[in-house]
Structure 1
Amino acid sequence: MSSTNPIGLFDSGVGGTSIWKEIHQLLPHENTIYLADSKNAPYGKRPKQEIIDLSCKNVDFLLEQNCKIIVVACNTATTNAIKELRAKYDVPFIGIEPAIKPAAHLSETQTIGILATQGTLNSELFNRQVESYQTTKIIEQVGHGLVELIEAGQIESEEMTALLKSYLQPMIDTNIDYLVLGCSHYPYLIPAIKKIIPEHVKIIDSGEAVARQTKAVLEKNNLLNNTTAKGSQIFYANSDPAVLKGILGFSENVFEKEF
């Protein structure tokens, strides 16, 4: 495996680009291939085995592109499928999980909120993580409909604002001081969320931590691209890539492809 081979990332849609942006910022010389399985978004409503099957299909595609490491840029796929992926494939995997640990450690009210998909909140991996923080009150909220609106390009819509208010106000009422975003789509909602939550409530997502972990695993496996050339960035979507282009802010190297 060559160090110049690309980093592969996949998500159930455009949300994982929030993870890609953090990795690209930290590792600008790395080549990347991003796969948006928008046709099957959101994964959060799907049964565990279906999430595993879709994740395997995505990994197969990325390995066909000679990716040297796979970033599962989706909380639901990580919490439901990463164990099976690591057992099946001989390639390093990076997963993402809701950042409960920093929120719990930093919380002064000992009450934190988690906004995530049903698939993530129901997963065994997530519930094991929650059980390790017995002294922290964790308010869980399923973000029904949020991913669908993001995938439809409706981030600033009245419907989005109404949904966010209905999900966030009960958390605010319980005196949370940290809000954990447990879906890679949700960082795109931070501007809208900040208009709703009090200033003292801090928002935490996993993007920077995932980027640092990706670098560490590349270094450990002698796969870090040490060239000085700017890396190539390729994006694939299996449905209309217009929203993906809008989220990224550019259209070059963004392709629609069946997979």
Structure 2
Amino acid sequence: MDNKQPIGIFDSGIGGTSIWKEIHNLLPNEATIYLADSKNAPYGEKSKEEIIHLSMKNTDFLLDMNCKLIVVACNTATTNAIRELRAHYDVPFIGIEPAIKPAAIHSKTQVIGILATKGTLNSELFNKTTEMFYHTKIIEQIGYGLVELIENGQMETPEMTQLLHSYLNPMIDANIDFLVLGCSHYPYLIPQIRKIIPNHIQIIDSGLAVARQTQNLLNEIGFNPDNNNQPIFYTNTNPTVLETILGSKYNVQEKDF
């Protein structure tokens, strides 16, 4: 394997850029290719079969770009498809799951909240994870409509504020002390969430943990020694929102896949 091969990262849309940023910050020498399947977002409302099909399509695209490993920067795709991906392809995969474990271990109230997509919360992998922490009350909330608003660049709108209040207020009333963000889109909502929840409630997402896991895997397969790699971003819809989130520094290419 050539160490200079890029890391491939895909998500149902722009949300996985929150994971890409953590990877890029920790591993700035690594070449990265990011794939935003925004045309099919959100994955959370799709069937398991559809999610597997889309995940394989994204993987094929990234492997055609000669990627040495694939980061599935989508909770829904990880919890529904990563087992099939690992069985089908001879390339390392890194997934992203809701960080239930650190929240459950450190919770003092023994009540934690998780905001995630329907596809993640209904998955077999997620249910197996939560069963391990039976001593903790886990308040699950599907984030209906959140991904669609984020994908449309409507992160700071009255509609978003109203939805977040309706999802978070019952968790606050139930005395949670940790809020787990179970979708890679949701870290972009942290500024709005912070305005709603009390200061003592800690917010946990999986971005840094995924970056560290990527670093650990590269210890086995080899790091890229170059530091002049310009990240490449692809989307199959209008790139405006993705460009806004990333900033003018990066080039986003619209491509049908």
TM-score by length of 1: 0.98
Q: Given that residues 30 and 232 in structure 1 are in contact (C-alpha distance below 8 angstroms), is that contact kept between their aligned partners in structure 2?
A: no
Q: Given that residues 243 and 251 in structure 2 are in contact (C-alpha distance below 8 angstroms), is that contact kept between their aligned partners in structure 1?
A: no
Q: Given that residues 12 and 74 in structure 2 are in contact (C-alpha distance below 8 angstroms), is that contact kept between their aligned partners in structure 1?
A: yes
* 1:211 partner amino acid: A
The answer to whether structure 1 residue 225 and structure 2 residue 224 are counterparts is yes
1 CA distance for matches of 2:185 and 2:36? 12
Structural mapping, 1:1-259, within 5 Å: 1-221=1-221, 223-227=222-226, 229-250=227-248, 252-259=250-257
Q: Shift of residue 188 of structure 1? A: 0.1
Per-residue deviation, residues 131-157 of structure 1 (Å, max 9, x unmatched):
000100000000000000000000000
Listed as ranges, the gaps of 5+ residues in structure 1 are none
1 CA distance for matches of 2:58 and 2:113? 31
Moved runs in structure 1, 4+ residues, more than 4 A? Answer: none
- What SS does the corresponding residue of 2:22 show, helix, strand or coil? helix
Per-residue deviation, residues 177-202 of structure 1 (Å, max 9, x unmatched):
00000000000000000000000000
1 CA distance for matches of 2:187 and 2:154? 14
Q: Given that residues 112 and 138 in structure 1 are in contact (C-alpha distance below 8 angstroms), is that contact kept between their aligned partners in structure 2?
A: yes
Q: Given that residues 231 and 250 in structure 2 are in contact (C-alpha distance below 8 angstroms), is that contact kept between their aligned partners in structure 1?
A: no
Q: Shift of residue 231 of structure 1? A: 2.3
- What SS does the corresponding residue of 1:193 show, helix, strand or coil? helix
- What SS does the corresponding residue of 1:14 show, helix, strand or coil? coil
- What SS does the corresponding residue of 1:86 show, helix, strand or coil? helix
* 2:132 partner amino acid: S
- What SS does the corresponding residue of 2:35 show, helix, strand or coil? strand
* 1:198 partner amino acid: P
- What SS does the corresponding residue of 2:135 show, helix, strand or coil? coil
Q: Shift of residue 251 of structure 1? A: 5.8
Q: Shift of residue 218 of structure 1? A: 1.2
Per-residue deviation, residues 65-110 of structure 1 (Å, max 9, x unmatched):
0000000000000000000000000000000000000000110001
Q: Shift of residue 232 of structure 1? A: 2.0
In the comparison of the two structures, how many residue pairs are matched? Answer: 257
1 CA distance for matches of 2:62 and 2:138? 36
1 CA distance for matches of 2:15 and 2:181? 12
Per-residue deviation, residues 14-52 of structure 1 (Å, max 9, x unmatched):
000000000000000000000000000000000000000
- What SS does the corresponding residue of 1:76 show, helix, strand or coil? helix
- What SS does the corresponding residue of 1:162 show, helix, strand or coil? helix
Per-residue deviation, residues 187-221 of structure 1 (Å, max 9, x unmatched):
00000000000000000000000000001011122
* 1:14 partner amino acid: I
2 CA distance for matches of 1:140 and 1:250? 37
Q: Shift of residue 13 of structure 1? A: 0.2
1 CA distance for matches of 2:228 and 2:73? 22
Alpha-carbon RMSD across the aligned residues, in angstroms, is 0.7
Q: Given that residues 235 and 255 in structure 1 are in contact (C-alpha distance below 8 angstroms), is that contact kept between their aligned partners in structure 2?
A: yes
- What SS does the corresponding residue of 1:195 show, helix, strand or coil? helix
2 CA distance for matches of 1:73 and 1:252? 19
